[in-house]
Amino acid sequence: MPGSIFRAALIWLLFILAESAQGALRRVLFGPEVAWTIRQASVGLGVAVLFVIAWFATPWMRLRHVSGALAVGLGWAATTLGFEIGISRLTGTPWQTIANDYDPRAGGMMALGLFAMTLAPLAAYTARRPSKRNQAIAAVGYGALAAGLSSVIVGLAVVLGARRLIG
């Protein structure tokens, strides 16, 4: 089990590094006038990347049970929440801005990202072990993926519309 925890932590680190690179690239390529929309769309892209990483990493993490896959997802989500809040506060981001990122009523998509992160290892694990029960569990995870991808499409449409208005 300790080896599985270490492996899950390495996969989380890979994901966080990829997301951090995406965030840095986003800040370089897009101006502040579309920053909020781009951040929302990037959550959907992050969900898609996460599910792909979870799919390929699940066998390597040596997950043996549904409960282990769910524990990995919960660990990833909790660690990500702490990481995001810590980095945001270190860079001087106000608490209200952080809260808005997680509040769907304010347009924040990060709660969806954390929900998908929680389900990603479970969906990948169950999809790799075919049975009617596992396929139903995987369907919930893939529903979260579909929601994330939908946010990418909507976000990109808004960005393209904003670019036409601006430039």
Tens digit of pLDDT for each residue in 128-163? 876 666 666 666 666 666 666 666 555 555 555 555
pLDDT tens, position by position, 66-101:
899 999 999 999 999 999 999 999 999 999 999 988
pLDDT the model gives residue 131:
66
Give the mean model confidence (pLDDT) for residues 117-137: 78
Which one-letter amino acid corresponds to residue 31?
A: G
Where in the chain are the domains?
Answer: 2-36+47-166
Q: In terms of residues, how long is the chain?
A: 167
Assess contact for 131 and 66: CB atoms under 8 A: no
Q: Is the pTM of this model over 0.85?
A: no
Joined tokens for residue 145: 């993926």
Contact 150, 44 (CB under 8 A): yes
